[in-house]
Amino acid sequence: MRQKKSIEDVEVSGKKILLRADFNVPLEEGRVRDDARIRAVLPTLENLLDRGAALVLASHLGRPKGRPDPGLKLDPVAERLAELLGRPVRKLDQVAGPGVAEAIGALQSGELLLLENLRFEKGEESNDREFARQLAEPVDLFVNDAFGTAHRAHASTAGVAEFVPAVAGLLMKKEIEELSRCLENPQRPLTAILGGAKVSDKITVIRRFLELADQLLVGGGMANTFLAARGFDLGDSLYEKDLLKEASSLIESAEKSGCRLVLPVDLVVTRALEPGGETKTLPPQEISGDWKAVDIGPETVKTFSRYLSQAAMIVWNGPLGVFEIPPFDEGTKLVARAMAASEAYSIVGGGDLVAALEGLGLAGAVGFISTGGGATLEFWEDKELPGIKVLQDKA
């Protein structure tokens, strides 16, 4: 990938900067429940403010579908950001227009304000050119630090770059550097772990890691599809019947590529997807009737852990069971502990998985945790992300 300019490569003193952040955080009773995404952008904010820039912050929150939603206003974000920065954050009730332009015009070096939720405007997700122009017109520079939305060609991630120079923030720069490591110069053995519900969501990234990795460990609902493709009945387990042929093709690709495709050898099964329900641990060939596979079993955990202990680099996306319903989160937790205990350099992407690591107190043991979900997957698929493509290249 071409190297992109970042805020470290440009002069910012006295400039007004539109900074696209990812403040799409969970709210609870009018307050921010988890501020990890806000904290992730603080180094960029502090760097720019200390260097004399005036900042106009922009973000989306939730899916208001182009119209105002009182429950998705960014006021709680402004409040929490002010607490973290230790300085005032002025919050506007609009995204664009004369009032916004006037407020930005009065902004002084070292000051910042936060626009209202970008997705209250229909022109945001449609990448409307006029809306992008309105966002860009009052500023001198565009900084994209929202890697989590870099795979979207929206007005605030791609469209604005038509009207004003665009560079990466420190978080965006870090994401590009770290996620590129396993693609361009992986340490070996490279072990990839992919979980989640559907093979269909990750076909391209599976193929990519079959080319790159020494081992690919598969769990979650997507493992059921591979096991069904191998001829196991699996009872009432969730899997993608229309993807069986594709899964068989991926198994064949693994045999040809030299990458070891590792599927579960035992699974936790239940009749009811609810806490406290009856469970058993069975090998795939013994699952039948109304039993459904909902997590990897202890023998699979041991197998996965052995590969992780021998790895030099680990990349992981997606939980290995129905993580949101305990005790079907146990496999993910145990493998997470094995990853943390490994001496390998680890890179993790995906919201559910990140929440698991933080809940276990293991986030600090991971080499890099990506703030992207879909963006991380598309980056690993080697796709050109719109929000990165528009950033200026280094000479």
Same domain, 213 and 350: yes
Same domain, 295 and 222: yes
In a domain, 119, yes or no: yes
Same domain, 211 and 239: yes
- Cis before 26? omega within 30: no
Same domain, 324 and 349: yes
Question: pLDDT digit string (tens) for 152-190?
Answer: 999 999 999 999 999 999 999 999 999 999 888 899 999
Judge whether residue 254 has pLDDT over 90: yes
pTM of the complete model beyond 0.75: yes
Single out the catalytic residue among 52, 110, 235, 351.
351
66 is catalytic: no
Single out the catalytic residue among 4, 16, 20, 37.
37
Residue 372 vs residue 311, higher pLDDT: 311
Supply the pLDDT for residue 366.
92
In a domain, 387, yes or no: no
Same domain, 130 and 196: no
Question: Which residue among 140, 172, 204 closes a domain?
Answer: 172
241 is catalytic: no
The tokens for 270 are: 């239940």
Distance CA 56, CA 100 (A): 10
User: How does strand 27-28 pair with strand 345-349?
Assistant: unpaired
- Cis before 70? omega within 30: no
Contact 59, 117 (CB under 8 A): yes
Average pLDDT, the chain: 94
Task: Give me the domain span that covers residue 365.
Answer: 186-380
Supply the pLDDT for residue 351.
67
Where residue 392 falls among pLDDT bands split at 50, 70, 90?
Answer: very high
- Most confident range (mean pLDDT) of 5-19, 200-214, 354-368 is 5-19
The region of weakest confidence among 147-156, 219-228, 279-288, 317-326 is: 317-326
In a domain, 299, yes or no: yes
The region of weakest confidence among 95-104, 115-124, 282-291, 323-332 is: 323-332
Judge whether residue 58 has pLDDT over 70: yes
Q: Give SS3 for 395.
A: coil
Please list, residue by residue across 85-116, b when 16 or more beta carbons sit within 10 angstroms of its beta carbon and e when fewer do. Answer: eeeebebbeebbeeebeebbeebeeebbbbbb
Question: Which residue among 123, 149, 172 closes a domain?
Answer: 172
Looking up residue 145, the CATH number of its domain turns out to be 3.40.50.1260
Same domain, 155 and 194: no
Number of structural domains found in the chain? 2
Judge whether residue 115 has pLDDT over 70: yes
Same domain, 216 and 341: yes
Question: pLDDT digit string (tens) for 344-374?
Answer: 999 998 667 887 788 889 888 999 999 888 8
Supply the pLDDT for residue 197.
84
Contact 291, 282 (CB under 8 A): yes
Q: Which residues contact 317 (CB under 8 A, 6 or more apart)?
A: 193, 194, 195, 196, 202, 205, 348, 349, 350, 353, 376, 377, 380
Supply the pLDDT for residue 382.
86
- Looking at residue 151, the DSSP 8-state letter turns out to be T
In a domain, 393, yes or no: no
Same domain, 144 and 287: no
In a domain, 388, yes or no: no
Sheet holding 368-369, edge to edge: 260-262, 215-218, 190-194, 313-317, 345-349, 368-369
Same domain, 159 and 38: yes
Question: Which residue among 172, 203, 236 closes a domain?
Answer: 172
In a domain, 178, yes or no: no
Same domain, 66 and 107: yes
Please list, residue by residue across 199-221, b when 16 or more beta carbons sit within 10 angstroms of its beta carbon and e when fewer do. Answer: bebbbebbbbbbebbbbbbbbbb
Same domain, 15 and 123: yes
Distance CA 325, CA 332 (A): 12
Single out the catalytic residue among 110, 235, 367, 374.
374
- Nearest Cα neighbor of 65 from 125, 151, 115 is 125
Supply the pLDDT for residue 236.
95
Residue 84, burial from CB neighbour count under 10 angstroms (0-12, 13-18, 19+): middle
| Separation in Å, CA 210 to CA 33, 191, 233 | 38, 10, 26
Where residue 91 falls among pLDDT bands split at 50, 70, 90?
Answer: very high
In a domain, 90, yes or no: yes
Supply the pLDDT for residue 166.
98
302 is catalytic: no
- Looking at residue 367, the DSSP 8-state letter turns out to be S
Same domain, 158 and 15: yes
Q: Which stretches of the chain are DSSP H helices? A: 36-40, 42-50, 75-85, 98-105, 122-125, 129-136, 170-184, 203-212, 220-229, 244-257, 298-310, 330-341, 351-359, 374-380, 386-389
2 is catalytic: no
Single out the catalytic residue among 198, 207, 337, 383.
198
In a domain, 180, yes or no: no
